[in-house]
Structure 1
């Protein structure tokens, strides 16, 4: 699975691999690995545009090591996300208690759900096997 973000350069649709930021007070441009989150004052660049980066005369470029291959999502990231969602749901249910308006109850599939699980909004609840 590749990057979901694309190069910030106009008309470039390649996957972003690097993030460019500026330190105006030091007249420095910093080019490093793709940032975890898209920031409003940073620019995501593809490999081609990152390699051909030029800055104004008098400016310095700090190039941090870029990964040689696109970073694949780690399974632990998904597990951590699932655990955080479960914890938030548990905390919400403990705060409101069962039967209180606004409580959604537990995250168990409804009775009669097929083997594939049941849809609940945009999420799918799967049975443990």
Structure 2
């Protein structure tokens, strides 16, 4: 039976997800993935305490990642998402114009449908028009 290690912070009973180690010679606090076993001079922290960790003045915090945590979206990811939403929200006339210019740029092979077919395709995204428009 394995016991779940708890956060080392006083009065915190949440499960530990990271291990904090101080390297006094370098004035560095190293926060990494949860160690495989509890060590006497390391501190296990829950997700909340590991995110809010600060070091004393003059010290550096080094955060190591094990790659298992989901990465946060970058600025480029968010911009691409915003552009896709804007494109999908374009009025039908502007979408048809964009389809026509894309068709010219690619030699006419932008996909099935088009302005008369009820479907506009740009890359891997499609804008479907409602049948009553």
TM-score normalised by the chain length of structure 1: 0.50
Indicate the structure with greater helix content: 2
Structure with greater contact order relative to length (CA < 8 Å, sep ≥ 6):
1
TM-score normalised by length of structure 2: 0.48
